[in-house]
């Protein structure tokens, strides 16, 4: 994607993490969109395969429908690119869509639009992967446009017929047209990129006037006033959880002075990041780009307040923030979905129906599927697709480092004897102490709330690696117990209680005779700060074997919590 002839300064995909931790996973995302379909009579998801060799060829075949967009491709100099071999998704505006757009912007023809603006238009309508409607989930599509922004999808119902709608603007008239170099979706409106920052979007809405006033007074709003970059191409993304004036009024807060009276001391410097009102406002801003689908895929998310997180949970069709029940009283803030998932040039905006404030956090179990690496997850034709695999070289995975060799991803075909969670695993090749080999590998964990945790590693035993001992380090602290990827048949003749007594567990859902699946307690670690951490595996013995080691999950479970429930199934479900 970065090598296109019309990229200019194209931002790369943001390196925010998608972290699996809780039992909701893919079922959550599908549930959200199915809610929108529940009242619909029919969803147009027809598929058409053409004999045309490419997307442009298909457009040229139907000039009565697409001649205006063909002019856009030609004038912007992108027609030859879209004519080339590749794998793309094109949201193609019809002639009526182009005519409506020209009227909207006060133009009479495409010739009145600059070449740069036309290039932007094309980039915003093209994705660098093939995405058909069965891959549409609630909220954003799985890959960004070539403009660097994500499109969001929902379902529109009109006269009893349901169709997909993109960015709350364009209805897909004909989906899933397969060509030689990609998939085309015909749309009835031109998609328009975000043109305002998070701050500008909030500022223009009078319903958020008190929220904006507090952002200004504390100085917290400076972070979201403009698009900034980590480097030349990677944006700093933010997610704002905004509260309307009505939400504040329900708390008897009507003015900035009311906010000060509730959240800070008289005479305090509210621009000080350690001030309680400053922290209260900063707590409403998350680091990273978190659409609704991202919020529910992880139970916790970092805020601009150091070491403070929000938690999220799905209850039915509702996405709840900081859901908690104390003495029979439930407290949470609902994400108002009709007013959320608002894309801005530097992030995404959500609306809350209740007051959001910093809560005392307690250690929470992290059941980590190590296959959930961003570079793997974006490969939608491979990730969790049975029988698919891909190999990664050193440096290919941002949050996994190793000195030599390769790491491969594999998703088993359904029914395989290996009982990996989600049916997939990482293969770590050639673990040896020999110089120049993969003698260690280090992962960056998902977010973990500070506290004391027992650490379990879960893998598929390979008796070819018997004797290859592994040490485990968490943030530079050595855990007391070693393990071997060759530990095999460790519990074949043992009862569940006997397995546990020896510091192991059967973590999978399946027959107890699946003794090649192993999980071992490595020790207890003190996580000193809420955030992401490093876990490193280091080989300790010379081994002549060259068989891969198959890693499935790593569990960080608070030491006072049940260590043996839930168990994990190949279809992503959990059993308690």
Reduce the DSSP state of residue 56 to 3 states and report it.
Answer: helix
Computed on alpha carbons and rounded to an integer, the radius of gyration of the chain in Å comes to 26
Reduce the DSSP state of residue 498 to 3 states and report it.
Answer: helix
Name the β-bridge partners of 426.
409, 551
Identify the pLDDT of residue 465: 56
Do the beta carbons of residue 270 and residue 378 sit within 8 Å? no
Distance, CA of 256 to CA of 262 (rounded, Å): 10
Distance, CA of 325 to CA of 323 (rounded, Å): 7
Do the beta carbons of residue 347 and residue 150 sit within 8 Å? no
Reduce the DSSP state of residue 397 to 3 states and report it.
Answer: coil
Beta-sheet strands, E only, within 404-474? 407-411, 424-428, 440-444, 451-460, 469-474
Identify the pLDDT of residue 490: 66
Distance (Å) of CA 382 to CA 33, 113, 377: 22, 39, 8
Distance, CA of 135 to CA of 130 (rounded, Å): 10
Identify the pLDDT of residue 491: 66
Half-sphere exposure of 473 (CA within 13 A, CB side): 12
Q: What are phi and psi of 63, to 5 degrees?
A: -65, -30
Identify the pLDDT of residue 96: 97
In this predicted model, what pLDDT tens digit does every residue of 87-104 receive, in sequence order?
899 999 999 999 999 999
In this predicted model, what pLDDT tens digit does every residue of 346-383 receive, in sequence order?
999 999 999 999 988 789 899 999 999 989 998 989 99
Please report which helix (H) or strand (E) contains residue 169, including its range: none
Distance, CA of 309 to CA of 389 (rounded, Å): 34
Reduce the DSSP state of residue 126 to 3 states and report it.
Answer: strand
Identify the pLDDT of residue 27: 40
**What is the bridge-based pairing of β-strands 574-575 and 567-568?**
antiparallel
DSSP state of 401: E
Alpha helices per DSSP H over 400-554: 496-501
Reduce the DSSP state of residue 398 to 3 states and report it.
Answer: coil
Map out the domains of the chain with their CATH numbers.
Answer: 39-187 (2.30.180.10), 198-352 (2.30.180.10), 366-575 (2.60.120.260)
Do the beta carbons of residue 144 and residue 7 sit within 8 Å? no
pLDDT per residue, tens digit, the chain (576 aa), is: 333 333 333 233 333 333 333 333 334 344 443 334 333 444 545 445 555 579 999 999 999 999 999 999 999 999 988 888 888 999 999 999 999 999 999 999 999 999 999 999 999 999 999 999 988 866 788 888 999 888 999 887 777 888 899 998 999 999 999 999 999 999 999 999 999 999 999 999 999 999 999 999 999 999 999 999 887 777 899 999 999 999 999 999 999 999 999 999 999 999 999 999 999 999 999 999 999 888 887 778 889 998 888 988 888 889 999 988 777 778 899 999 989 999 999 999 999 999 999 988 789 899 999 999 989 998 989 999 999 999 999 999 999 999 988 999 999 998 888 899 999 999 987 677 676 778 899 999 988 888 999 999 999 987 665 556 789 999 999 999 998 888 766 667 788 898 999 999 999 998 777 778 889 999 999 998 887 899 999 988 665 555 678 999 999 999 999 999 999 999 998 898
Identify the pLDDT of residue 41: 41
Find the length of the chain: 576
Beta-sheet strands, E only, within 132-266? 139-140, 152-158, 161-166, 170-179, 182-187, 238-243
Contacts of 255 (CB under 8 A, 6+ apart): 210
Identify the pLDDT of residue 231: 75
Dihedral sign, Cα of residue 215, residue 220, residue 221, residue 222: positive
The DSSP secondary structure of 444-462, one letter per residue, reads E---B-SEEEEEEEEEE--
Omega of the bond prior to 95 within 30 degrees of 0, cis? Answer: no
Distance (Å) of CA 552 to CA 382, 398, 460, 496, 536: 17, 18, 7, 21, 15
**Angle in degrees, CA 369, 371, 373, rounded to 5:** 110
Reduce the DSSP state of residue 340 to 3 states and report it.
Answer: coil
What number of other Cβ atoms are within 10 A of residue 269's Cβ?
Answer: 12
């Amino acid at each position: 994607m970065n090598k296109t002839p019309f990229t200019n300064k194209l931002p790369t995909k943001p390196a925010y993490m998608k972290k699996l931790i809780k039992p909701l996973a893919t079922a959550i995302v599908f549930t959200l969109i199915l809610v929108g379909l529940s009242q619909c009579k029919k969803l147009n998801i027809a598929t058409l395969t053409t004999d045309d060799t490419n997307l442009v060829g298909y457009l040229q075949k139907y000039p009565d429908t697409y001649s205006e967009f063909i002019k856009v491709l030609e004038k912007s100099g992108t027609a030859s690119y879209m004519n080339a071999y590749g794998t793309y998704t094109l949201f193609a505006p019809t002639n009526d869509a182009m005519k409506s757009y020209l009227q909207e912007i006060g133009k009479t023809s495409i010739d009145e639009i600059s070449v740069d603006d036309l290039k932007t238009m094309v980039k915003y309508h093209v994705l660098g992967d093939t995405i058909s409607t069965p891959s549409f989930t609630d909220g954003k599509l799985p890959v960004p446009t070539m403009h660097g922004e994500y499109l969001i999808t929902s379902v529109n119902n009109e006269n009893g017929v349901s169709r997909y709608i993109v960015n709350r603007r364009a209805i897909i008239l004909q989906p899933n047209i397969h060509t030689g170099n990609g998939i085309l979706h015909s749309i009835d409106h031109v998609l328009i990129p975000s043109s305002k920052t998070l701050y500008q979007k909030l500022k223009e809405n009078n319903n958020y006037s008190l929220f904006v006033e507090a952002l200004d007074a504390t100085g917290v709003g400076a972070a979201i006033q403009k698009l900034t970059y980590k480097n030349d191409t990677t944006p700093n993304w933010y997610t704002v959880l905004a509260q309307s004036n009505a939400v504040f009024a329900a708390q008897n807060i009507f003015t900035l002075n009311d906010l000060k009276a509730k959240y800070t001391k008289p005479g305090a410097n509210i621009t000080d990041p350690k001030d309680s009102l400053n922290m209260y406002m900063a707590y409403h801003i998350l680091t990273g780009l978190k659409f609704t689908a991202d919020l529910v895929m992880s139970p916790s998310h970092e805020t601009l307040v150091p070491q403070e997180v929000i938690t999220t949970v799905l209850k039915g069709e509702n996405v709840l923030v900081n859901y908690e029940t104390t003495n029979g009283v439930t407290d949470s803030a609902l994400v108002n979905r009709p007013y959320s998932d608002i894309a801005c040039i530097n992030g995404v905006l959500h609306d809350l129906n209740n007051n959001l404030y910093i809560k005392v956090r307690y250690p929470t179990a992290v059941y980590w599927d190590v296959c959930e690496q961003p570079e793997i997850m974006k490969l939608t034709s491979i990730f969790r697709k049975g029988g698919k695999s891909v190999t990664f070289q050193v440096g290919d995975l941002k949050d996994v480092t190793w000195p030599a060799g390769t790491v491969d991803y594999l998703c088993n075909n359904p029914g395989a004897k290996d009982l990996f969670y989600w049916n997939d695993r990482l293969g770590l090749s050639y673990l040896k102490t020999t110089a120049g080999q993969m003698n260690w590998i280090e992962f960056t964990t998902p977010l973990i709330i500070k506290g004391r945790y027992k650490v379990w590693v879960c893998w598929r035993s390979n008796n070819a690696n018997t004797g290859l001992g592994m040490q485990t380090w968490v943030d530079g602290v050595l855990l007391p117990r070693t393990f071997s990827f060759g530990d095999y048949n460790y519990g074949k003749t043992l009862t569940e209680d006997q397995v546990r007594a020896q510091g192991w567990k059967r973590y999978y859902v399946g027959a107890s005779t699946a003794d090649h699946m192993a999980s071992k307690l490595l020790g207890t670690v003190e996580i000193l700060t809420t955030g992401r951490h490093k876990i490193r595996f280091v080989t300790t013995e010379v081994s002549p074997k060259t068989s891969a080691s198959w890693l499935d999950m790593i569990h960080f479970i608070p030491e006072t919590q049940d260590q043996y429930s839930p168990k994990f199934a190949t279809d992503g479900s959990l059993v308690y």
